[in-house]
Structure 1
Amino acid sequence: MSIFKEWPFLSERFYTLNGKKEIWLARVHRKGLDLRPRLLRAQTTAFWKTSTYNRYIGISFSLGAFLFSLASILMFCSLHWSSLSNLTNVMFFAGSVPFTLAAGLQHFQSANQIPQPRQEQHTLNKPLKLIGWNPLNAGWLSSFTQFIGTLAFNISTFNAIAAPSQPALSILEIWTPNFEGSVLFLISGYLAFIEVDNRYWSWKPKNLSWQAVFINLLGCIAFMISAVFPQTPDADKADWVWQYSNTYTLIGAIFFFISAQLLVEESKLSPAE
């Protein structure tokens, strides 16, 4: 068996099954994207590899991204109408919840993936895992860091609803988890990008999976830029800083929404239940 990988991750294998040469791609295998064209009628597909499960992931990400986009627009409005500030913060928190749900579903999928080429029925006889541990699998590490990042966004957006009056507490309770979540998202986005083609960099704009992870990575970069800017010196006295930061939040949310829609489209390649 030949192994091709970008160290230290393994996301691609070439092997022989029943005298036929096959290629095993981690992301394709995890999402069941390789099952529909060759699914044996006698086999049962694990529920986390079905089109319905993958579609729910995409829909949840879409909802979170839509609410973040709406909250970003409200943020611009709240600069002129302060009465909208609380609604804006609530909208951001509401958007963080489906992000966490989608990330949790995605990580459950990664936790239960068998990290090597095997027939589909082998996955059905193993006990289910909630977290698992496979740090050398780019998909597992990507979904794990993404899930932790969404929890950080939950904390940040929830604390913003009743923002502390002291600047030091605001930094600790709102900006810090937001910054940490953005860092984790950026790590997650790049790991997902690596996994698709088993390369540190690739360019396959006609590939649906590549499109989804690349646009998602752009969203992660935009969120990272947004997280850096609000706590510049005298940020509370400079509206342009908040506007600049919020612009990148909106851009990131739009990218996430597009990426999520591509995930919904990609789910059609998975087998039905």
Structure 2
Amino acid sequence: MSRTEGTGPFTTRLTWRLGDGATAVWESRPARKRGLLTVRPVGESEPRPRSADSESLGRLSRLNAIAAGAFTVGGGLFAAGAARAQFGTGDATSAWIYFVGGLFFNTGGYASLLQVINAPRQDSRIGALSARRWRWWSYEPGRIDWLSTLLLFVGTLVFGINLLGSLMQGLSVRQANALIWSPDLIGCTLFLVSGHLALVEVCHGRPGLRTRDLGWWIVAVNQLGSVLFMASALADFTRPATGSVLNVDIANWGTLTGAACFSVGGVLQFYERP
């Protein structure tokens, strides 16, 4: 007997009966972030956590620390760059701060994807999680966590085009919108879709409130950051007729507050570990 939960083609929670009559529950995010599932023995009312093997837990811990640290530092650098642009001279120094912050976002995005790729998988026969060989890449579009983290990573790479464009001098309005604004808008869209999938994963369907779940808080704070990034991107469009940005204040404040959200999410992520 088994029961699946999720949305569309994605399974985010699986409940099944073991041979001894116990009930095992696998959930996508706890399994890949903490290396954990639960088993409720026959005759007991409360489930017991069951961890993966030590090799898997070590992998998850290291990758989680890398991703959390990268997003914390990257978000801080983006916030610093936006603050300098808003309150300082807005010179090329801000662009370089953004660029370095973008490298940290790249690192955090790829570490998050690696954590999904190398997460332990459930063994339905014994109700346990087991390690697989280390991989640097996989193609698993049927997994919502894989798709979410892939879009996040690709979004950070697209932002890289935007950040490189920001370092170029003497761009025309058309070139600025093509090399800076368009990649920014695409990257923000990818972040928003990634965040929505992460919410679906943690909520096992339609996004809702899960205030007692640390994973939900991390996803929700990051998604708020993505919304603020999108507001910044929309405001950063350069008018062809005048050569001026739609709203510099919204662009800078959206980046600053959105980056702060990702930095806070990174700090929280340190605590979502095996």
- Is the structural similarity TM-score above 0.5? yes
What does 1:59-74 correspond to in 2, within 5 Å?
59-74=69-84
**Paired residue for 1:6?**
7
What does 1:224-239 correspond to in 2, within 5 Å?
224-231=230-237, 233=239, 236-237=243-244
Q: Detail structure 1 runs of 4+ shifted over 4 Å in the superposition.
A: 114-118
1:207 aligns with 2:199: no
Measured in 2, the distance between the counterparts of 1:77 and 1:67 equals: 15
Per the TM alignment, residue 56 of structure 1 is displaced from its structure 2 partner at its CA by 1.9
Measured in 2, the distance between the counterparts of 1:7 and 1:214 equals: 21
What does 1:149-188 correspond to in 2, within 5 Å?
149-188=155-194
Given that 1:235 and 1:242 are in contact with CA atoms closer than 8 Å, whether structure 2 keeps it comes out as no
Measured in 2, the distance between the counterparts of 1:4 and 1:57 equals: 28
Measured in 2, the distance between the counterparts of 1:144 and 1:182 equals: 14
Measured in 2, the distance between the counterparts of 1:139 and 1:21 equals: 24
- Comparing 64-73 with 20-29, greater Cα deviation is found at 20-29
Measured in 1, the distance between the counterparts of 2:181 and 2:144 equals: 28
Larger strand percent: 2
Are the structure 2 counterparts of residues 220 and 242 from structure 1 closer, same or farther at C-alpha, using a change threshold of 3 Å?
same
1:247 alignment partner, one of 222, 230, 253: 253
The C-alpha deviation readout for 1:85-118, integer Å capped at 9, x for no partner, is: 1000000001000111011011112123466555
**Structure 2, unaligned runs of 5 or more:** 38-47
1:21 aligns with 2:23: yes
Output the TM-score relative to the length of structure 1.
0.87
**Structure 1, unaligned runs of 5 or more:** none
Measured in 2, the distance between the counterparts of 1:76 and 1:211 equals: 29
Measured in 2, the distance between the counterparts of 1:9 and 1:38 equals: 23
Structure 2: which amino acid aligns with 1:159? G
Q: CA RMSD in A?
A: 2.2
**Paired residue for 2:138?**
132
**Paired residue for 1:223?**
229
Counterpart of 1:134 in 2: which secondary structure?
Answer: coil
Measured in 1, the distance between the counterparts of 2:192 and 2:115 equals: 20
Are the structure 2 counterparts of residues 242 and 48 from structure 1 closer, same or farther at C-alpha, using a change threshold of 3 Å?
farther
Given that 2:231 and 2:250 are in contact with CA atoms closer than 8 Å, whether structure 1 keeps it comes out as no
Counterpart of 2:210 in 1: which secondary structure?
Answer: coil
Given that 1:4 and 1:10 are in contact with CA atoms closer than 8 Å, whether structure 2 keeps it comes out as yes
Counterpart of 2:7 in 1: which secondary structure?
Answer: coil
- Comparing 140-149 with 23-32, greater Cα deviation is found at 23-32
**Paired residue for 2:42?**
none
Given that 2:238 and 2:244 are in contact with CA atoms closer than 8 Å, whether structure 1 keeps it comes out as no
1:46 alignment partner, one of 35, 43, 56: 56
Question: What is the count of residue pairs matched by the alignment?
Answer: 258
Structure 1: which amino acid aligns with 2:212? K
1:120 aligns with 2:129: yes
Percent of residue pairs identical: 26
Are the structure 2 counterparts of residues 162 and 13 from structure 1 closer, same or farther at C-alpha, using a change threshold of 3 Å?
same
The C-alpha deviation readout for 1:6-47, integer Å capped at 9, x for no partner, is: 11221110012343111111111112341795347xx43326
2:109 alignment partner, one of 82, 103, 107: 103
Per the TM alignment, residue 120 of structure 1 is displaced from its structure 2 partner at its CA by 2.7
